A = this chain, B = another copy of it.
């Protein structure tokens, strides 16, 4: 799904927020500000991740698939399972796997027990690609987060947990 977001510098000023709140009494100014800042920073992080991956000829979607495969004991999974975990459609997963297979990073293997199904296996080249990318990614992430104390990290996670649980209320409103 696309995430298009205002630049950090163009988040609404206090004054603009007040103006909107005046027209729309439903507005909760601090909720809006927190929400926008959250989307903004997540977008920046995601773009930074893209930039890092692109230096290794990878795109985020394909990279996530490699990681999911590496998590498995036998480095193997199924397209439908991968799609579910990644939150994309099966059609999209077919495309991601096509790209990865073409690059030799994964391999499709037929499953005798269920001939509708396919096993996806991380190849040696796929593992090597991860071994090249992950240290780079982890180093950058460490630097990027080093300004946060352990206390702040756990605060962040619990705050995010509250928001995520609050999200269930989103849909029930009509």
Q: What is A's interface to B at a CB cutoff of 8 Å?
A: 1-8, 10, 12, 16, 20, 23-24, 26-28, 30-35, 37-48, 50-52, 60-61, 64, 68, 70-71, 84-88, 131, 134-136, 138-148, 150, 152-157, 159-167, 169-171, 173-174
**Identical subunits present:** 2
Give bound CA distance, A169 to B162, whole Å. 29
| Residues from chain B with Cβ under 8 Å of A30 in the complex | 150, 153-154
- Contact A8-B164, Cβ < 8 Å, known A2-B2, A157-B33: yes
Q: B34–A145 contact, CB under 8 A? A: yes
Choose one: B7, B23, B26, B163; the contact of A45 (CB below 8 Å): B163
Give bound CA distance, A163 to B4, whole Å. 19
- Contact A71-B12, Cβ < 8 Å, known A142-B31, A169-B143: yes
